[in-house]
Amino acid sequence: MVKILISGFEPFGGDAVNPTGALMEALANEVIEGAELKTLLLPVHFDECADLLIAEMEAYRSDVVIACGLAKGRTSITPERIAVNVKDIPPGSYADNQGQRPVDEPIADGSPDGLFSTLPIRAMVNDMSAAGIPATVSNTAGTYICNNTMYRLLDHIRVGQLPIRAGFVHFPASTEMAVLQPSVPSLPIPMMLDALRIMIRTVVADS
């Protein structure tokens, strides 16, 4: 059995919901052959979210970590290729849920400028696309909480030379969110949940 830790986030930026939170609820009782699953809901806080994820990863003795977040405005599900060593919230963007607004700050002094996902991101995208789900590899996780979480996770694994595969996946807004913001691209939660199941099966097959 492959022990897979999957995380999502609480709402942020004035939205009442975060689809990744709904995905964690829906996935909590899932049974997927070859996988042992554990879900975790994270706060949108620099750097508490990464601290909690890393602690749970170690306590659970994870083989794989799939961290999930919202990228409102994207039109597809996007496994991230790389995280960069910077946290930066430009003017006009939302602070985190504690009001923090880091600008041009390194995430980890002395660590690499970028760290690549160790998940099978191309196979994940191919498998989702084959199932009729919009998906593409993303080459930027931004400089907000999601990138921060991905980078901290990968850097912790790198420093400890841990045999854990990890990465990050961004999801679009949900249809529920688009009801209030009709111009925002969205996908229904059931489709996003199917995509997450597919990605889990892809990881199991690749392990």
Catalytic residues: 80, 146, 170
Residue partners of 148: CB distance under 8 A and separation at least 6: 46, 47, 49, 50, 87, 107
d(CA 175, CA 17): 11
Place of tokens 């993303």: 138
Backbone angles phi and psi of 65, in degrees to 5: -125, 125
Residue partners of 132: CB distance under 8 A and separation at least 6: none
Backbone angles phi and psi of 24, in degrees to 5: -65, -40
Query: What is the 8-class DSSP label of residue 87?
Result: B
Taking residue 41's Cβ as centre, other Cβ atoms within 10 Å add up to 16
Cβ atoms of 169 and 70 within 8 Å: the answer is no
d(CA 202, CA 207): 9
